[in-house]
Amino acid sequence: MHYLDNAATTAVLPEAAEAAMHAMRTCFGNPSSLHKMGIDASHLLEDSRKTVASALGCLPEETYFTSCGTESTNISLRGVAHLNRHQKGRIITTEIEHAATLNTCKQLAAEGFDVVYLAPDATGHVTPDALEKALTEDTVLLSCQLVNNEIGTVQPVAELGAMLKAKAPRALFHIDAVQGLARVKLTPKKWHCDLMSVSGHKIGAPKGIGALYVKKGLRLPPLMFGGGQEKGMRPGTEPLPNIAAFAKACEIRMAHFDEDYQHVQALADYLHQQVAALLRDAAFNGVGDIPHVVNLSLPGCKSEVMLRVLESDEVYVSSGSACSKGKQSGVLKALGLPKTRTDSALRVSFCPSNTTDDVDALLAAAQKGRKMLVR
């Protein structure tokens, strides 16, 4: 099997699975209980919080556990909207965000907020100049991705954050760092960031665990109400096995950050070289600033058909965001690419366990598919 769809999800690391098993079988007390089993669980919870906070570049008290990146983003956007529910105001995001942001903004627009979508340039970046033109005195929020999940571009969040705070100092800045965790060093304070979403299953933790950075001193209303866990930000008994696994995945990935990046960079370089040699009419989409995500189109080869061909050789990639489920990519459309490119796009996404054998298998299957589909 050759799995190259790591931007959708990753395999759970063995060490993370072991950490989850330990929490399930040995440290299974409720962290809110006052007896020894509860206290032991609480210690594991807080130790895990410290580890995840380190990966997020923030303090443990600024780190809240959630179920996923989507929930973290909803808490952020809807929380800021609730703080401004009487005056409403402007919310700024981009045309190339994940559905968690776009669909939440769509709902907030229906509730009376003035939502503005910034268009990227041809490379897939949103410029500070574009943001400056959209800023108004009543701007309450800017939300944008750190790393785009389809084309791998890294937004200039430091410049965007500085522009926001200079022109609209009362506005809050939310960053969707789901694809950035363990791929880009996270420094929310340097980015003037108030809120930041991440997800565990993108780095070798199980599905069902995420985290939210909330700048110290900022209080948002919760989406749910309950027993007050996570300081009331996200009530409900903490999923300690998933949290422990998330912490272990963060520990491993951050300990090997530099070597992982160099390894994935070598794989991406090899892919580009082999595509140039073997699939000369292929076109790369966007300018991937990180090597983990490579998007390319094979003219004349419909994405959904090529995916089946690749799957028959046990090669797994995607045609875009897993959450879009086969719909035309809004990201590639926003770049102004013609339909022939968007209809034939494939997203290849690497993790540190991938090898050149995976790339070779992809290219061999793609060549076979092209012979079948292009007459």
For β-strands 210-214 and 293-297, DSSP reports them as: unpaired
For β-strands 2-3 and 315-316, DSSP reports them as: parallel
Q: Are 135 and 92 in contact (CB under 8 A)?
A: yes
Question: Both ends of the chain: CA-CA distance in Å?
Answer: 29
CA-to-CA dists, residue 240 to 13, 28, 108, 181, 250, angstroms = 17, 8, 33, 20, 15
323 is annotated as an active-site residue: yes
CA atoms within 13 A on the CB side of 6: 29
3-class state of residue 79 by DSSP: helix
- Select which of 27, 193, 301, 323 is catalytic: 323
Q: Are 293 and 150 in contact (CB under 8 A)?
A: yes
**Which residues lie closer than 8 Å to 266 by C-beta, 6 or more apart?**
none
Q: Which residues have a catalytic role annotated?
A: 323
